[in-house]
Chain A
Amino acid sequence: MILLRRYGTLLALALIVLVFTIASPQAFGSTPNLINITQQMALLAIVAIGATLVMVLGEFDLSVSAVVSWAGIAAAALFAAGVAVPVVMIVVLVSAVAMGAISGFLVARFKVPSFIATLAFGTVIGGLTFWVSNGATMFSGIPAGFRDLGRGTLMGVPVPTLWLIGTAIVFWLLLDQTEFGRRLYAIGGNREAARLVGLPVRRDMVVAFALCAALAGLAGLLLTARLGSAHPTGGGGYLLQAYAAVFLGMTAFREGEPSVPGTLVGAAIIAVVSNGLTILGVPSFLQDLLTGAIILAAVLVRNFGRDGD
């Protein structure tokens, strides 16, 4: 029971993997497919790790999907103009950081509810994305060197997986091992108390939103590299799934707190379910039903353990 209470969500992930492996040992359970799942979850997990930072503050950033789309389109437009890969990456990431900082400033300085501020600002970013792309999918002029940042393998590990590993380590250390991370948890726990003890609440909130947007921008760049094209609504699918991953992760490892390892488990559950159900040939509508049910079941397994029921 103690095991269930502490590691219920992780056990749920293991159970889901086991069930799929039994149902499809040749396809799902094969090593290449399991490695491929880490590649498929990479971009979602990177966005979700960013969302974890603002969730630690007790806030939401609903503009992440718009930033993902923006980053892809901005990169494609710059490539079409002949700009070099490193310059494109720096410009796009800086623009994403600026977008996140604006959202954070609106929330921290003017106390606009993050739900509203980021929804509104996300709409502005969406408009900018459509303006730049003229609403069209962009896929000309994307250099092969850039594309290699989102595809292929390095020593047998998919490149997107390596990006995820690097991001997860950096942000796990940032949240768990630095004063900045502890300040974010303190602000999320009681903002007024954090302010009264002299923590730089506003500055830390702006930085957290900026880092969240930076990761969304990175995911947008990697998505464009992976697909070789940029779609003006390409990031649309990440918003709900990223927060689902964070919420799932909140039931793992820590008592109801967002954490990087928890978010990784959440993203893995979502990726494994999508991969496994597709391999088993489950139609889309049934996939939706089962995905929702499996997420609920994963949380329930954890809660049963917590209640000692």
Chain B
Amino acid sequence: MRAGILGLAFAGLMASTVGSFAADVAVLTPYQSSVATNQMINVFQDKAKAAGWNATVVDTRGDMGQLASRIEDVVAAKVAAIVLVSVDPTQIQDQVSAAAAAGIPVITIDGAKAPGVALNVTSDNFELGTKLSDFLFGKLGGKGNIVKFFYSAHPGVHQRELALDAALKKYPDIKVIADHYVVVPGPIDDARKTTENWLKSQGDQIDAVWAAWDEPAIGAQLAIEADKPDSKIIIAGIDGNPQAVELIKACSHIKGTVSQDFDAMAGLAAEGLTQILAGKTPEKVEVFAPAKLITPETLGVTCP
């Protein structure tokens, strides 16, 4: 009896979530807690709503096995399209190929080209890493010690790290004296704690912090602000995270971020999907959104 009541209640809840006749678009990511990924998803959802699509977001919290299973689920549900955000589709190639074989278009935002992917909208991550490294090394006058926050598991973020390696070859007087693989989720707190430890052990030797994206940069800023506010350490990251931009504006230790235009990426993806759902083929399989360097100067701020 009670089991029946529970079942009916559950069925009612289910019924409230289904019943739309709009095109179902499944948005899947393993990294929704990332500010940048979240921003892209939010913008895409707004565009989807405007286009009359029914977009559902699934986050697997870094679990690629779960991501593979959830793609299989939405293929079984025969959705109109699959949008993968911040994930390299080659890591789940079988599922992407199965979706394509079932006639379901797969597009990626902040992803990569792969068989079965109709469109990838992204930034050139190697270029982002090069811009960040050149900016930071320029600020140091081509000489100094840096610490590095990296996350090689994300293919895009790993490209930035490779760009750093290439830049270090051009600047032989720049030394990486410590590095840290950032814990995700929770990158800000992880970077804060790591920086605190570095400041205690080798704070006098650090000239700059190279952060593969803005959240570890913010963590480093929090630690330096608390433990060594008068130091000359400079920090730079990538993404143009709104909090990082505010900290640049406030003349903190963060002196630059290479901004990815996430809104543009999500918008371009929505435009591409509109074409695909209309039966057209996008002109290019991969589209790059523009990137720009944000500094106090570009924000019109004069820092002491």
A284 and B2 CA atoms in complex are apart in Å by 27
Given A278-B58, A282-B56, A301-B3, CB of A27 within 8 Å of CB of B77: yes
A-B contact count (CB 8 A): 138
Q: Which of B91-99, B201-209, B220-228, B236-244 contacts A (4 or more CB under 8 A)?
A: B91-99
Q: Tell whether, in the assembled complex, residue A19 and residue B17 are in contact, meaning their CB atoms are under 8 Å apart.
A: no
Q: Tell whether, in the assembled complex, residue B14 and residue A40 are in contact, meaning their CB atoms are under 8 Å apart.
A: no
Min CB distance A134 to B, Å, is 6
A237 and B68 CA atoms in complex are apart in Å by 13
Query: Given B15, B60, B158, which contacts A237 in the complex, CB threshold below 8 Å?
Result: B60
Q: Tell whether, in the assembled complex, residue A280 and residue B17 are in contact, meaning their CB atoms are under 8 Å apart.
A: yes
Q: Tell whether, in the assembled complex, residue B11 and residue A281 are in contact, meaning their CB atoms are under 8 Å apart.
A: no
Q: Tell whether, in the assembled complex, residue A236 and residue B62 are in contact, meaning their CB atoms are under 8 Å apart.
A: yes
Min CB distance B127 to A, Å, is 20
Closest chain B residue to A40 by CB distance? B69
Q: Tell whether, in the assembled complex, residue A4 and residue B150 are in contact, meaning their CB atoms are under 8 Å apart.
A: no
A111 and B91 CA atoms in complex are apart in Å by 41
Q: Tell whether, in the assembled complex, residue B181 and residue A23 are in contact, meaning their CB atoms are under 8 Å apart.
A: no
Given A227-B65, A229-B91, A301-B3, CB of A280 within 8 Å of CB of B153: no
Q: Tell whether, in the assembled complex, residue B62 and residue A278 are in contact, meaning their CB atoms are under 8 Å apart.
A: no
A74 and B58 CA atoms in complex are apart in Å by 29
Given A236-B62, A284-B32, CB of A15 within 8 Å of CB of B94: no
A46 and B130 CA atoms in complex are apart in Å by 44
Q: Does A32 contact B (CB under 8 A)?
A: yes
Number of B positions contacting A (CB below 8 A): 48
Which residues of B are found within 8 Å of A26, using beta-carbon distances?
Answer: 78
Q: Tell whether, in the assembled complex, residue B11 and residue A226 are in contact, meaning their CB atoms are under 8 Å apart.
A: no
Which residues of A are found within 8 Å of B78, using beta-carbon distances?
Answer: 26-27
Closest chain A residue to B24 by CB distance? A281
Q: Tell whether, in the assembled complex, residue A19 and residue B10 are in contact, meaning their CB atoms are under 8 Å apart.
A: yes
Q: Tell whether, in the assembled complex, residue A301 and residue B93 are in contact, meaning their CB atoms are under 8 Å apart.
A: no
Q: Tell whether, in the assembled complex, residue A139 and residue B91 are in contact, meaning their CB atoms are under 8 Å apart.
A: yes
Q: Does A151 contact B (CB under 8 A)?
A: yes
Query: Given A30, A227, A281, which contacts B18 in the complex, CB threshold below 8 Å?
Result: A281
Q: Tell whether, in the assembled complex, residue B59 and residue A27 are in contact, meaning their CB atoms are under 8 Å apart.
A: no
Closest chain A residue to B2 by CB distance? A304
Q: Tell whether, in the assembled complex, residue B65 and residue A135 are in contact, meaning their CB atoms are under 8 Å apart.
A: no
A133 and B153 CA atoms in complex are apart in Å by 9
Closest chain B residue to A136 by CB distance? B152
Which residues of A are found within 8 Å of B11, using beta-carbon distances?
Answer: 19, 22-23
Which residues of A are found within 8 Å of B77, using beta-carbon distances?
Answer: 24, 27, 278-281
A217 and B54 CA atoms in complex are apart in Å by 40
Q: Does B63 contact A (CB under 8 A)?
A: yes
Closest chain A residue to B8 by CB distance? A19
Which residues of B are found within 8 Å of A279, using beta-carbon distances?
Answer: 73-74, 76-77
Q: Tell whether, in the assembled complex, residue A139 and residue B90 are in contact, meaning their CB atoms are under 8 Å apart.
A: yes
Which residues of A are found within 8 Å of B76, using beta-carbon distances?
Answer: 27-28, 30, 32-33, 36, 275, 279
Given A19-B14, A22-B11, A281-B24, CB of A227 within 8 Å of CB of B92: yes
Which residues of B are found within 8 Å of A22, using beta-carbon distances?
Answer: 11
A22 and B11 CA atoms in complex are apart in Å by 8
Q: Mark B74-105, 1 if CB is under 8 A from A, else 0.
A: 10111000000000101111100000000000
Could you list 11 examples of A-B contacts with CB < 8 Å?
A: A11-B3, A18-B7, A23-B11, A23-B15, A30-B76, A151-B94, A223-B65, A234-B63, A278-B73, A284-B32, A297-B10
The 5 closest A-B CB pairs, nearest first, are: A237-B63, A136-B152, A278-B73, A135-B152, A281-B56
Instruction: Other than A40-B69, A275-B76, A280-B77, give 9 A-B pairs with Cβ distance below 8 A.
Output: A139-B91, A151-B94, A228-B91, A228-B94, A233-B153, A281-B26, A282-B56, A284-B58, A286-B17
